[in-house]
Structure 1
Amino acid sequence: MLLAVNILGLLVFLAIGFLFSKDRKAINWKSVGIMVVLNLFLAWFLTAVPAGRAGVQAAADGFTWIVDISAEGTKFAFGDWYNVKSLNFICSSLMPILMIVPMFDILTYIGLLPWVIKWIGRGLSFLTGQPKFESFYAVEMMFLGNTEVLAISGLQLRSMRKERNLSIAMMSMSCITASIIGAYIEMMPAQFILTAVPVNIVNSLICASLLNPVKVTPEEDTIEKVGEDGEKAPFFSYLGDSILGAGKLILIIIANVVAFVALAKLIDGFLGFIPAIGGFKLSLESILGICMWPFSWLMGLNLHDTWLLAQNMGLKLVTNEFVVMGKVTGEINSFTPHLRAVLTVFVTSFANFSTLGMVLGAFKGLVDDENNNYIAKHVGYMLLSGVLVSLLSAAFVGLFVW
């Protein structure tokens, strides 16, 4: 019965993309169908097949190894403050970013990462029938981050129609960055974090194809620029900038988590002055839970788990994934396998209001006023796309974990 509800949920989420489409007649159903089948295969292979699970476990062990190595720098810097038995959020989850981000930047500097991105992007475009740049962009986001890829794609964005730029903006709401996976797997089940990564990529293309179908002619289907032009900076100058960038990223995450948690507590404080109605006391989580309850139920959960998932889904959308991960990290292993899978996959994305602001800010400095204004008028589509990607990814993976 619950599996049937999960299947129904997957169909409903796809139907929402169709209902809110800007041009239903232009939807390329063959491409959408191929991508749906691809994600069903990925979710099945990575969660239900021994070889797939072994591959995911090997990747998780690799990230854990990298995180453990990065701890050596943290121990040196913090000395006696570094207590393995009582590590705080900053030391356990954020400090590894100081090594992982430069590691990925070094791979970019020597050309290995761009080569990997190029071939994965070409394969994805060939398999799904999606335009080349959109496919490259989906893969690049996974490795480099949404605003970072936007920054190096200015020439391409300025050469494209505003409708395609909107698709890129919508896709930017659903990515995660490989350099931050090390932080995620310290708080949530690594298997489902790593499964969510490729599933999110394909779902970002599915949602853009449904909500904003754009026919791209062969003449338009070109890559103007993927990467940076000009002379390379000296290696150690490049590395220094990367380390400083990683430090700024940590500060941004800390600032966001502190602010959002405190603001949520403040809102709960004000709501606490409202008398309970029929024994039901208002709180931010309860309000968000009510809003997200129908979507949570469609994941195929019992009523107790539906309410728990709905509250965390809503909290993630108005704050960020780190707030929810920090909240449930101590208890998630006690959840049922299905709830553990769908919750972990749903929160593994940047889809929230703060990302909306970052993406809009990036486009403002990269495209002309016509393109920028067009994107700004469709922020609802950007947010809807990000939410739908998270819902679809959770529903795909949930089908195979019970």
Structure 2
Amino acid sequence: MLVVINIIGVLVYLAIAFLFSKDKKNVNWRSTIIVLVINLLLAWVLTSFAFGRDIVKGAADGFNWLVQVSYQGIVFALPNWVTPEFGGTAKAMNFVTSALLPILMIVPLFDILTYIGVLPWIIKWVGRGLSFITGQPKFESFFSVEMMFLGNTEALAVSKLQLQTMRKERDVTLAMMSMSCVTASILGAYTQMVPGQFVLTAVPLNILNAIIVTNILNPVKVGPEEDTIAKMGGSSSNAEASVADEAADAKTPREPFFSFLGDSILGAGRLILIIAANVIAFVALAAMIDKILALFNPWLSLEHILGIIMFPFAWLMGLNVHDAFGFAQYMGTKLVTNEFVVMGKLTTIINNPHYFSPHYRAILTVFITSFANFSTTGMIIGAFKGMVDQEKNDLISKNVGYMLLSGILVSLLSAGIVGLFVW
């Protein structure tokens, strides 16, 4: 029975997207169905077959290895922050040490891969392959893969020329897609807090579901003359778009490596401060709201209110009523704050079978593995403001509701699809 509810849930999430579609007559159903089938097959393979589970486990182990290597740098500077198993003297590692400080090594590593051309090559060819298979415009496919490695604001930054030359309706599509990604360079932090195999399963599913949801919510017909890609130049930490001309690109002087690396490390440091500041502020604000609500009724809390609002969507994941209410509270907290706040609450209990069944653990991990929350809308609008004209900025600002709806539906679809295969 719960499996049937889960299937109905996936269909309901798609129906909600269609209900709010800006142009129902021009939805590309052929492409949508193709991407949905690919998504179902991918989730089935990565969760139900030994070789699929080995793939995601190997990737998760790889990120964990990178994190463990990063601890060597932390031990050198702050030995009392790291536990003895990694060479330090701490009794236990806190959130900053275990999840955030490794970003100081992992972000520059990904930037180096961009600098030497490895990531741009992967992004280009995977994006082209995705466009060929799904029938989606080349740049939208390219951008979805770009987000998977670089993150939303970084992917927007390296696509500046494309954003300036595309129609404003397509820019809205990219703004909506930007709600659904994560940055590969902080996946290591996620895998230290929640089950890594489901974190890494969520990443490609989010990319494909972003294509599905935006294709339904904001269908835009792209003619052959528009279906082009401006070439990406620079690095993910200091990048700007350049004309898609190889000869012109070859003449562009590249930033000296160590100058580039220094900028990348400083950028990683700023990212850590931003995440830490957001987590501290959001947790404190949520606690303050709870105390104010308790003055009116001891039962009232932000999580309870959000749980009631999100309960129908949680129940459609194939959960019983009790579990659905708890799941809905995590969903609401994540949307109002961010994924790190929820992961911090789950770190010590998510792998305990007394708290969560395999199905619950899988769908919860997948749902929270994205940047879909209220604060991300501000980041995306801010990124566009520095790159496109006022007319495009105004249109994107008017579509904040659609951006948030897109991010929520993508997270729901990814979790619902994974839930079909994990019980």
Letter in 2 for 1:267: I
The aligned residue for residue 289 of structure 2 is: 267
Shift in Å, 1:81:
3.4
1:199 CA drift (Å): 0.3
Quote how far apart the aligned CAs of 1:339 are: 0.4
The residue aligned with 1:234 is: 256
- Alignment correspondent of 1:246: 268
Instruction: Write the distance in 1 (CA, Å) between the matches of 2:233 and 2:41.
Output: 31
| TM-score of the superposed pair, with normalisation by structure 2 | 0.93
1:110 correspondence with 2:111: no
Structure 1 equivalent of residue 102 of structure 2: 96
Residue deviations 1:187-242, cap 9 Å, x none? 00011000000000000100110000000000000012323443211000000000
**Counterpart-to-counterpart distance in 2, 1:215 and 1:187:** 41
- Tell me the equivalent position of 1:315: 333
> In the TM superposition, what is the alpha-carbon distance from 1:83 to its structure 2 partner?
3.0
Q: Which of 289, 297, 321 is the aligned partner of 2:307?
A: 289
Q: What is the CA–CA distance in structure 2 between the aligned matches of 1:103 and 1:94, rounded to whole Å? A: 15
Q: Counterparts in 2 of 1:62-77, with a 5 A limit?
A: 62-77=62-77
Cα drift, residue 80 of structure 1: 2.6
> Which residue, out of 296, 306, 314, partners 2:324?
306
Q: In structure 2, which of residues 225, 229, 233 is the aligned counterpart of residue 223 of structure 1?
A: 229
Counterpart code for 2:200: L
Distance 2:69 2:325 in 1: 39
Equivalent residue pairs, number:
398
Q: Which residue of 2 aligns with 1:397?
A: 418
Does the CA contact (< 8 Å) of 2:81 and 2:97 recur in 1?
Answer: no
Q: Distance in 2 between matches of 1:136 and 1:275?
A: 50
Matching residue of 2:190: 184
Structure 2 counterpart of 1:361: 382
Corresponding position: 1:140 with 2:146 = yes
Once the 2 structures are TM-superposed, how far is the Cα of residue 330 of structure 1 from its aligned partner?
Answer: 0.8
* 2:9 counterpart residue number: 9
What residue is the counterpart of 2:39 in the other structure? 39
1:170 aligns with 176
TM superposition score normalised by structure 1: 0.98
1-side partners of 2:167 and 2:289: how far apart?
A: 42
Identity, % of aligned positions = 67
- Secondary structure of the residue aligned to 1:332 is coil
1:53-83 per-position Cα deviation (integer Å, ceiling 9, x unaligned): 0111111111111111000001111023323
- Aligned residue among 377, 381, 387 for 2:402: 381
Q: What SS class does the counterpart of residue 227 from structure 1 fall into?
A: strand
Q: Distance in 2 between matches of 1:248 and 1:187?
A: 21
Change in Cα spacing, 1:81 to 1:65, as seen in structure 2 (3 Å) is closer
Q: Structure 2 vs 1, CA of residues 244 and 274 (structure 1 numbering), >3 Å: closer, same or farther? A: same
- 2:94 and 2:297 map into 1 onto residues whose CA distance is 36
2:55 aligned residue: 55
Question: Do the aligned partners of 2:124 and 2:142 also contact (CA within 8 Å) in 1?
Answer: yes
Q: Which amino acid aligns with 1:153?
A: S
Equivalent-residue separation in structure 2 for 1:80 and 1:120 (angstroms): 43
Residue number in structure 2 paired with 1:352: 373
Q: Distance in 2 between matches of 1:217 and 1:81?
A: 56
Partner of 2:22: 22
Instruction: Calculate the aligned-residue CA RMSD, in Å.
Output: 0.8
Partners of 1:184 and 1:80 in 2: CA distance: 23
Q: Per-residue displacement from partner, 1:129-163 (whole Å, max 9, x unpaired)?
A: 10000001000001011101111111101111111
> Counterpart of 2:290 in structure 1: which amino acid?
D
Q: For residues 79 and 313 of structure 1, what CA distance do their matches in structure 2 show?
A: 36
- Cα deviation 1:176-196 (Å, max 9, x = unaligned): 010000000000001100000
> Mapping of 1:144-155 within 5 angstroms?
144-155=150-161
Q: How big is the shift at 1:394?
A: 0.2
Question: Could you tell me which amino acid in structure 1 is paired with residue 173 of structure 2?
Answer: S
Residues of 1 paired with 2:62 and 2:47: CA distance?
18
Amino acid corresponding to residue 28 of structure 2 in structure 1:
N
